[in-house]
Amino acid sequence: MRGVVELHPLNPGPRNTLGILLLAQGDPAGALLSFDKGVELDPGSVWNSFWRPSALLLAGRAEEACAAFDRITEKGLRLAGLAMAYHSLGRDADSRRALDDLEACCAACDGYKIADVHAWRGDKDAALRWLERSRDQHDAGVTFLKYDPLMQRLRGDPRLAAFLASVRLPPDR
């Protein structure tokens, strides 16, 4: 992906993808550099507006992440981010309220993002139920499961291996 960024330095898309891959490798600082350049190139990118604060969250900067998630204009992404950030800040009632609102507005179309939130909050049972629902919805988010850093709390769960097999993805190593 670094090669793609070099070939297309003014295209923010590859920078966003590189940032996500860097997050998956456990490098939130490198991801933030990539996302920052992406924001510079395309300030209105919806996905960058979600993944940059996710990198802050993964870097342990929950207060900053919370403020950045709160500025997202796309309701589902804002609620998902806030639910995770509030959880990280120990604001459990706020986290639950944001998650309830997310489920109310996005259950029919974004089961994967709801699964992300449940995984972040450590509720593996709910995360796996929402993953199954996202599979049944043909939610494209499932294609990110193998390297989604927000799903890290599911790693090693044997039910995740079964789910990966059900969507024809190789098991975790």
Is 93 in contact with 70 (CB distance < 8 Å)? no
pLDDT tens, position by position, 68-120: 999 999 999 999 999 999 999 999 999 999 999 999 999 999 999 999 999 99
| Residue carrying structure tokens 């449940």 | 118
pLDDT tens, position by position, 25-75: 999 999 999 999 988 888 888 778 899 999 999 999 999 999 999 999 999
Q: With bands split at pLDDT 50, 70 and 90, how would you rate the model's confidence at 173?
A: low
pTM check: above 0.95: no
Q: How far apart are CA 164 and CA 168, in angstroms?
A: 6
More confident: 20 or 94: 94
| Residue carrying structure tokens 């806030």 | 82
Is 79 in contact with 105 (CB distance < 8 Å)? yes
- Kindly tell me the sign of the dihedral angle through the C-alpha atoms of 121, 126, 132, 137: negative
Looking at residue 159, its amino acid is R
H helix or E strand, kind and range, residue 122: none
Q: How far apart are CA 28 and CA 20, in angstroms?
A: 9
Tokens of 156: 């090693």
Average pLDDT over residues 140-158: 92
Range with lowest mean pLDDT among 1-5, 77-81, 150-154: 1-5
Q: How far apart are CA 28 and CA 23, in angstroms?
A: 5
Is 26 in contact with 53 (CB distance < 8 Å)? no
